[in-house]
Amino acid sequence: MNRQQSRYFTTAQLMDEALLDLLQNKGAEFITVKEICKKAGVGRSTFYLHHQGAPDLVKECSEHVNTKFFERFEQSAADTIGAIRTAPLDELVFVTDEYLRPYLEFVQDSCSIYRAVLANGHTLQAQERFEALAKHIIDPVLERFGYPSEQRAFVISFYVHGLSAVVQDWIRSGCETPIDEMVRIIKTCVHPNGTNRRLANAKERRE
């Protein structure tokens, strides 16, 4: 990276940080380009070299947050993919405190930018990556639990879109509901008793 490129990315980072700081005190719809420029220490012409407007910056920030999220959990996902075929079935139930809590904690820490994204009519820009992750993790897990191949796409859609909808509603409320309560709600939504029955059936088939 040459000096000009380095300066470009440094300026972009300053504007991202300025937006995140401003979001702590007001909604994205009330934040102006003038405020962002003042806090970032850049001129309006520099801002518009990078972005079309404040909503565009909000969208970019959310993409950066999503990248950090996937980088944070990339190794655990890779470990899970590698173990799916041989792990005991009770270790393949991911709707648990162990898996949900770190995810919800990350979302809560990034609530201001995610809320701004939703308020501006954008999606969280992570759906495609979640669907790719589902293909490599949830599909083979469902196969291990004995779901027929023709049903698995629908079950994956239920998990991915259902969890996304619940989390988006939580974000819109400002993540006010405690994480412990959110974990309980999500676990109830996916009917863990049904999962337990499948575990028992799978165990019986092995025996």
pTM: 0.70
**∠ Cα 119 123 127 (to 5°):** 155
State how far the Cα of 166 lies from the Cα of 182, in Å rounded to an integer.
9
> Distance between terminal CA atoms of the chain?
60
Q: Which amino acid is at 49?
A: L
Query: Please, is 141 exposed, middle or buried when counting C-beta atoms within 10 Å of its C-beta (0-12, 13-18, 19+)?
Result: buried
In tens digits, the chain (207 residues) has pLDDT values of 555 556 777 888 899 889 888 887 887 788 899 999 999 999 999 999 889 888 888 888 888 887 877 777 766 677 777 778 888 887 777 778 888 898 899 899 888 888 877 876 655 656 666 667 777 788 888 988 899 999 998 988 888 888 889 999 999 999 999 999 999 999 888 765 555 555 555 555 555
